[in-house]
Amino acid sequence: MIHISRRAAAALAPNRMRLNGLRFGAAILLTALGSLTALPARSEPYRLVPDDKIALRIVEWHSGEGEFKDWDVLNGTFLVNDAGEVSIPIVGEVSAAGSTTKELAEKIADLLQQNAGLSAKPYASVEVAQYGPVYLVGGVDKPGPYPFAPGLTVMKAISLAGGLQRRAENTGARFDRDRIQASSTLGNAQLDLRTLLVRQARLRAEMEDKDTFEMPKELVGASGADALYSQEINLMKLRSVELKSKIAAADGLTDLYTHSIETLQNKIETQQHQIDLLRKELGTVNSLVDKGLSLSSRRLALDQSASDAESKLLDLEFQLISSRQSLEENKRDAADIVNSRNSQIQSDLNDVNQEIAKSNFDSRISRKLMDEADQQEGKQLLDERRDAEPTVKLHIARAGNDGKSQTIEATADMLVEPRDLIEVETLRPDPADLGVTNSTSPATADMAASGNGGP
């Protein structure tokens, strides 16, 4: 906690700032300078946390072909969910939080080899595609979520939020605007969340090959939930009809090829019998020709007929091989119909889970911003009348290993972690000492009533 004189504040800040803004900016600047030390280097590799996105690539060595082949169905971006896991087709749920990218790649490769029954372990590569955000609230110019990067300090994070909050004219209107914007964001996030929860229930039911699903418990009685449920039920029925139609078409081809194979087999038997008769008759004629009892033209005709019959037999056997090959290809296509559908459902489910996590965070942050706007408006009245110099305190709310949030007193050069919530607190005199009470804008009650509902 640092006090700064007005003369020092005026020397450090631009002339265009108001006097109160000068004091505020100078205070945090000296706080940063007073605690600034050489930034500690990360001696250990980065360990994943919920809300991180990973880029996964898997390749497998095919020794027979002498080349690597990609597992395209598994390659892509995956979200580390609130439980610290990533959901990957075939592999399943994999614990990611607390692991390095190298450790996670090893886990995925081991599980993929085990679940897919591979003789050799595939090669897996994991990179951080996007870090979970950090959140800034309190005395910053633009509170909200901001992208994390390794080496990000509290001071750098504050700069991302536009620096310390500057006093400006018509701040009451700005607080009202912030409340309206936060309320709008909250409303949109809650509407999206209702849609996503119903879609998630439908996808889970499809993954389990069910014909229907129940309304999520948290949406029972919610406004508009019945319409969303009806839409997803209709979509589920259409997708089921489409799948059954494709399977029926594949089954029809299977029956056709099977019948064709049986017919060809019967023809081959008949043709072989005919060839045997011709060869038997040809043997008799050869004996008669040798004795001078038959003409050689008769022997020539029989020999030609036998050759034609054998040629036709070869054609029939080739057709039989082609039909059997077509039957096997159709069986593989029928299996691909189901496998491709399940793979697409899993991919859609991953996307929905990611969007649900985003909507939940947007809702929580919007409520926090609405509360913050109310608090800041009341504090503004006190700030305008106080005589004391501004002081700033920094706090970080961070999830511990047990999943519970803990508050840490921070310094400007402290390294932050993804999902940290950084609060910039301005210490002010007791309102009773100044004879001023907090007041709330008329818009506050309306915003709270419209923005603090459930999903």
Question: pLDDT category, 367, cuts 50, 70, 90?
Answer: confident
In this model, does residue 320 exceed pLDDT 60?
yes
Least confident of 81-85, 177-181, 409-413: 177-181
More confident residue, 275 or 63: 275
Q: What is the pLDDT of residue 125?
A: 92
pLDDT at position 390, please?
60
- Residues of the chain with pLDDT > 70, as a percent, come to 79
Rounded distance between C-alpha atoms, residue 317 and residue 321, angstroms: 6
Per-residue pLDDT band for 104 (boundaries 50, 70, 90) equals very high
Q: Is the pLDDT of residue 176 over 90?
A: no
- Give yes or no for residue 422 having a pLDDT over 60: yes
Whether the per-residue pLDDT at 414 is higher than 80: the answer is yes
Given this model, what pLDDT does residue 169 score?
Answer: 52
Q: What is the pLDDT of residue 247?
A: 87
pLDDT band at 266 (very low <50, low <70, confident <90, very high): very high
pLDDT band, residue 336 (cuts 50/70/90): confident
Higher-confidence position of 315 and 376: 315
CB of 105 closer than 8 Å to CB of 86: no
d(C-alpha 172, C-alpha 155), whole Å: 27
The more confident residue out of 371 and 430 is 371
pLDDT higher than threshold 50 for residue 21 = no
pLDDT at 403: 65
The SS3 call for residue 13 is coil
**What's the mean pLDDT when you consider all of the chain?**
79
Q: Please state, in angstroms and rounded to a whole number, the distance separating the CA atoms of residues 393 and 245.
A: 65
Separate counts of helices (H) and strands (E) for the chain? 9, 11
Identify the top-confidence range among 37-41, 275-279, 296-300. 275-279
Tokens 């402290």 label which residue? Answer: 414
Which tokens in the block code for residue 45? 């590799």
pLDDT higher than 70, residue 37? no
Q: Does position 155 have pLDDT exceeding 60, yes or no? A: yes
Q: With a cut of 80, say whether residue 409 has pLDDT above it.
A: yes
Summarised one tens digit per residue, pLDDT across range 105-116 is: 999 999 988 988
State the pLDDT at residue 139: 86
Residue 441 pLDDT greater than 70, yes or no = no
Of residues 56 and 384, the one with the higher pLDDT is 56
3-state helix, strand and coil shares in percent for the chain, rounded to the nearest 5: 55, 15, 30
Our CA dihedral for 74, 75, 76, 81, rounded to 10 degrees, sits at: 40
Residue 310 CB partners (closer than 8 Å, separation 6+): 275
pLDDT for 444: 42
Whether the pLDDT of residue 423 is over 90: the answer is yes
Supply the pLDDT for residue 64.
Answer: 72
Global confidence as pTM: 0.38
Predicted local distance difference test score (pLDDT) of residue 39: 38
CB 25 within 8 A of CB 141: no
pLDDT value at residue 366:
81
Q: Is the pLDDT of residue 143 over 90?
A: yes
Position 33 pLDDT exceeds 50: no
Q: What is the pLDDT of residue 433?
A: 56
Asked which of 150-159, 286-295, 325-334, 390-399 is least confident by mean pLDDT, the reply is 286-295
Mean pLDDT of 244-260: 89
State residue 297's pLDDT score: 81
pLDDT > 50? residue 236: yes
Annotate 86-116 with DSSP letters as a single string.
Answer: EEETTTEEEE-TT--HHHHHHHHHHHHHHHH
Question: Percentage of the chain surpassing pLDDT 90?
Answer: 23
pLDDT at 452 over 70: no
Sign of CA dihedral 6, 11, 12, 13: positive
136: pLDDT strictly greater than 90: yes
Task: Say if CB 395 and CB 166 are below 8 A apart.
Answer: no
Q: Is the pLDDT of residue 156 over 60?
A: yes
Top-ranked range on mean pLDDT: pick from 176-185, 262-271, 357-366: 262-271
Q: Given this model, what pLDDT does residue 54 score?
A: 92
Grouping H, G, I as helix, E, B as strand and the rest as coil, residue 309 is helix
pLDDT at site 384: 60
